[in-house]
Amino acid sequence: MTSRPDPDELVRRVREEERKKTRGRLTIFFGAAPGVGKTFAMLEQAGFLRDVERLDVVAGVVETHGRFETTTLLAGFERLPRRKISYGGTTLEEFDLDAALARKPRLLLVDELAHTNAEGSRHAKRWQDVEELLEAQIDVYTTLNVQHVESLNDVVAQITGVLVRETVPDAVIDAADTIKLVDLPPDALLERLREGKVYLPAQAERALENFFQEGNLIALRELALRKTAERVDADMQAWRREHAIEKTWAASDRLLVCIGPSPYSANLLRVGRRMATSLRARWFAVNVETPATLRLGASDRARIVQNLHLAEQLGAETVTLNGENPAEEILRFAREQNVTKIVVGKPRNARLRDRLRRSFVDQLILRSGEIDIYATVGELEEGASEAPARIPSVKQDPRAYVAAAAAVGLATAVAYALFGRRELADIVMIYLLAIIGVSMRFGFRASLLTSILSVLAFDFFFVQPYLTFSVSDLRHVVTFGVMLLVGVVIAGLTQRVRDQAEVARRSERRTAILYAMSRELSRMEGLGAIVHVAARHLEQVFESRVAILGAKSGELNVDYATAGFVPPLDKEGGVARWVLSHQREAGLGTATLSGSSGFYTPLVAPGAEATALGVLALYPEEPARFADPEQQRLADAFATQVATSYERARLADETERARLQIETEQLRSTLLSSVSHDLRTPLAVMKGAASTLLADDAKLTGAVRKDLHHALLEETERLDRQVRNLLDMTRLESGAVRLKKEWYPLQEIVGATWSRLEARLADHPVTIRVDADIFVRVDNVLMEQVLVNLLENAAKYTPSGTPIDLIAHPGDTEVVVEVADRGPGVPDDERERIFDKFHRGPSERTRAGVGLGLTICRAIIAAHGGRIWVEGRQGGGAIFKFALPVEGGPPPLAKLPEIPERGSEPEALRGPRQGASSP
């Protein structure tokens, strides 16, 4: 039976392939114990590549431990100088990552993958350095012992009794391209030990002697072999999947491991990891927050955080659930996610409470249905205490106890007033009321006290013999007992209700925050608004100062920073850039550059993983805040929101640009077709006339010849005008025209226009009324253009002999110029469109002339801050009007001195009388 390939899996593989193409190749020389010869093998192999294949190989960091053969081999390599870090009075030498990245060899040798870097290094662990090297497309050879594998760490500790603290996550090892097992049989290894060829640091000698027992070595060797076999098996599976995809994919088991603050959780996680690997299953690590766990102490919370981190490193998906009953929550989640197996820790000692109520494990087993439950046990982490976390109870306000007593007193008084000493049952009810009241307000302990006090008061005041604590009728003891029990139960219930409400409130608040922000963001347009809204929410939620850095062509700009806050980019700019290029978090609370003052997370929109849009930086008032992975995850969720909004804004921009481009294209094609027609027509006439004059010269009469000559000249002028218009329009649109505005007497511009057009306007009587004292501040060349276009239009579209009037009206705020004709006029519905590009009225289709004249006028007038329009005229015709704003008056004329006359009186200088006064 063939099953469908899991689409997630396929996508993952493709992504994996993609990544592999652009990453360096990692080769791990893997061994069971120190001394088997991993470094030696690595150097040998590298040497071969260097000599025979002529590869550029550099030794980044290689530990020879003083062994002669190793040192000799190493001598043949270029060595990278170490980085010196001074730490607490001593100088440590560490691997220099930056130097390696700068040197960029083809292959770099980096010994001891599990090594922990000294403080002050960029990354906490050497394997992280190696990750960065691989991403920079540098191939790496490295060495690793089996005890450094994260998921095997506890097994090795079991075998050897030595707990190794430096581990490498399985994900890194699994992602390596090649694992070479360097195998040495245990007796050979012991032989070498005796010969002194294995380096043992002096202090650890005794411990390591225990380590190097034959039994241990055999077991370790088996572990190493098995791990390698697993890897080979995985490779084979992969090959089979690629080549025969119908072959079943692993029936998807899904695993769930329950973790809590208990120190056993770490073991559980490793067990979970091993199971998940062998089942090739996805697995979850789930932590349930109950009202009780909310009250855990700091160290326990820290352990939960650690466990969650470990889970992530081991490759689990971590989830935090909220609820009251952990078993119920876990089972609900498990059913939702189709979990098939759940791993829990076996309880170590039975506790009294567990005997009364079903323990967590029991509940889980009972209600698991078809899900398998694995209860395992494991060794403790060294240094962890055995005692399970004690959950402290809520501190009681001392006033609560006073209130309890007061309530009882009040109840007693009321009961007595109402019932005297009869109706004992009703009196009990009054006391119950008191208990309920106190428990709703004051919590468990106070209500417990109230219960006890109520019983005592009841006994004392209402049960015979009165005013004593003795009881005459033994049946009343039952009453007391029931009262006490009810009181306790009520107290417990109300406490629980309050706790539940608290949990629900918290988780609701978190969701509400995220929802509020995302809703507001979805309404925002424009990057600026988005950034502000997001930052505001972030500042509130995380109680931090916020900086949002946008990436533009690889450079980061501060798009937003909390008011008054300057993000420390001079010191931490490198962190931000690292986050941008590696698309991973760094800073506070992470494993990379945790000494920074901020938490940096990349802004990556889902679906656009190729490029990071920027970096979100949070600087909390309380640096410990981001140690909690829940906060980190929340920050991630926010970052995704912001990134999505950024992406949206960017896409909106692109859409706009695309739209503009389409419009421009359309316009261009219209222009082209128009132009080609309107240029060809005069050219056709010119060619026709010229060729006739040439070819048929002899046959032409004088009149015809003259006519053809005229046509030729006219058409050249028409062509000239077309070209001029086109050029003007192009220049205006491209913004190449810069207005040179100066003060001109309007009359002069009109006069120049007239001189230019006199011949063209010969067919029409033209009246010009422009006072000499009207001044305008314009670009005269462009203004002349406007008048020329208007007058030419008037001449073109009105019958010969009809008058054309050009009149200027001065005013306080603007000067209005009108060109009026007695032509057919402009119909109402065309009054707006007539100014559009290429517009020509239906009657004008046959006439030549690209309809640009009025468009140019409008552009020029608009550039001067004026407006242009057309009106109808009484008695027929059209009046084209434009208005130019008058900004102040021309400067006084006194600048040019009057020239003194010899002997005669100099005339007083007359200043210009403007129609326009200064606004």
Partner 1 sequence: MTQGPLVLIVEDEPQMLRFLRGSLSTHGYRLAETTTGAEGLAQTAARNPDVILLDLGLPDLDGIEVTRRIREWTQIPIIVISARGQDEDKINALDAGADDYLTKPFSVGELLARIRVALRHLAHAASGKEEPIFAVGELRVDLGKRQVFVQDSEVHLTPTEYRLLTTMIKYAGRVVTNRQLLKEVWGPPYVEHTQYLRVFVGQLRQKLEPDPAKPKFLLNEPGVGYRLKMP
Residues that bind partner 1 (CB under 8 A): 713, 716, 720, 724, 727, 742-745, 747-752, 754-755, 758, 766, 768-770, 772, 780-781, 784, 890-891, 893, 895-901, 904, 906-907, 909-910, 912
CA-to-CA distance for 509 and 322, rounded, in angstroms? 13
C-beta closer to partner 1: residue 652 or 909? 909
Q: What are residue 289's phi and psi, to 5 degrees? A: -95, 115
The 3-class SS string of 150-190 reads: HHHHHHHHHHHCCCCCCCECHHHHHHCCEEEEECCCHHHHH
Q: Looking at the DSSP assignment, which residues form a beta bridge with residue 246? A: none
Q: If you count DSSP H runs as helices and E runs as strands, how many of each does the chain have, helices first?
A: 26, 25
C-beta closer to partner 1: residue 215 or 906? 906
**What is the nearest approach in angstroms of partner 1 to the Cβ of residue 731?**
8
CA-to-CA distance for 912 and 909, rounded, in angstroms? 9
**What is the nearest approach in angstroms of partner 1 to the Cβ of residue 888?**
13
C-beta closer to partner 1: residue 475 or 895? 895
**What is the nearest approach in angstroms of partner 1 to the Cβ of residue 867?**
24
C-beta closer to partner 1: residue 677 or 769? 769
C-beta closer to partner 1: residue 96 or 779? 779
Q: Which of 126, 153, 313, 317 is nearest to 227 (CA)?
A: 153
CA-to-CA distance for 157 and 209, rounded, in angstroms? 15
**What is the nearest approach in angstroms of partner 1 to the Cβ of residue 807?**
10
Reading the block at residue 184, the tokens are: 């040495």
- The string over 306-344, giving b where at least 16 C-beta atoms fall within 10 Å of a residue's C-beta and e elsewhere, is bbbbbbbbbbbebbebbbbebbebbbebbeeeebbbbbb
Reading the block at residue 843, the tokens are: 């009657």
Cβ neighbours around 224 below 10 Å, total: 24
Q: How far apart are the first and last CA of the chain?
A: 91
**What is the nearest approach in angstroms of partner 1 to the Cβ of residue 713?**
8
Q: Which residue has the tokens 């009469």?
A: 701
**What is the nearest approach in angstroms of partner 1 to the Cβ of residue 880?**
18
Cβ neighbours around 62 below 10 Å, total: 23
C-beta closer to partner 1: residue 14 or 893? 893
Q: Which of 656, 675, 553 is nearest to 611 (CA)?
A: 553
Beta strand residue intervals within 209-281, DSSP E: 254-259
CA-to-CA distance for 269 and 697, rounded, in angstroms? 107
**What is the nearest approach in angstroms of partner 1 to the Cβ of residue 701?**
23
Q: For residues 430 and 415, is the Cβ–Cβ distance under 8 A?
A: yes
**What is the nearest approach in angstroms of partner 1 to the Cβ of residue 711?**
15
**What is the nearest approach in angstroms of partner 1 to the Cβ of residue 675?**
18
| DSSP conformation class of 837 | T
C-beta closer to partner 1: residue 91 or 755? 755
**What is the nearest approach in angstroms of partner 1 to the Cβ of residue 139?**
59
CA-to-CA distance for 852 and 848, rounded, in angstroms? 12
Cβ neighbours around 250 below 10 Å, total: 13
C-beta closer to partner 1: residue 619 or 775? 775
Q: What are residue 604's phi and psi, to 5 degrees? A: -125, 125
Torsion of CA 438, 441, 445, 447, to 10 degrees: 20
C-beta closer to partner 1: residue 457 or 766? 766
Q: Which residue has the tokens 């001044």?
A: 775
**Amino acid at position 238, single letter:** A
C-beta closer to partner 1: residue 237 or 914? 914
**What is the nearest approach in angstroms of partner 1 to the Cβ of residue 755?**
6
**What is the nearest approach in angstroms of partner 1 to the Cβ of residue 900?**
7
Q: Which of 160, 143, 138, 147 is nearest to 45 (CA)?
A: 143
| DSSP conformation class of 383 | T
C-beta closer to partner 1: residue 207 or 781? 781
C-beta closer to partner 1: residue 185 or 906? 906
Query: Rg (Cα) of the chain, in Å, rounded?
Result: 45
**What is the nearest approach in angstroms of partner 1 to the Cβ of residue 663?**
28
**What is the nearest approach in angstroms of partner 1 to the Cβ of residue 640?**
55
- Written as one string, the DSSP assignment of 421-476 is T--HHHHHHHHHHHHHHHHHHH-HHHHHHHHHHHHHHIIIIISSSTTSS--SSTHH
Residue 661, by phi and psi: left (phi above 0), alpha (psi -120 to 50) or beta? Answer: alpha
**What is the nearest approach in angstroms of partner 1 to the Cβ of residue 772?**
5
Q: For residues 160 and 237, is the Cβ–Cβ distance under 8 A?
A: no
C-beta closer to partner 1: residue 243 or 895? 895
C-beta closer to partner 1: residue 492 or 890? 890
C-beta closer to partner 1: residue 550 or 915? 915
CA-to-CA distance for 286 and 254, rounded, in angstroms? 13
Q: Which positions ≥6 away from 325 have C-beta within 8 Å?
A: 290, 363
| CA 724 to centroid of chain Cα atoms | 52
C-beta closer to partner 1: residue 845 or 902? 902
Q: For residues 565 and 604, is the Cβ–Cβ distance under 8 A?
A: no
Q: Strand pairing of 814-821 and 742-745?
A: unpaired
C-beta closer to partner 1: residue 506 or 760? 760
**What is the nearest approach in angstroms of partner 1 to the Cβ of residue 852?**
17
**What is the nearest approach in angstroms of partner 1 to the Cβ of residue 752?**
4
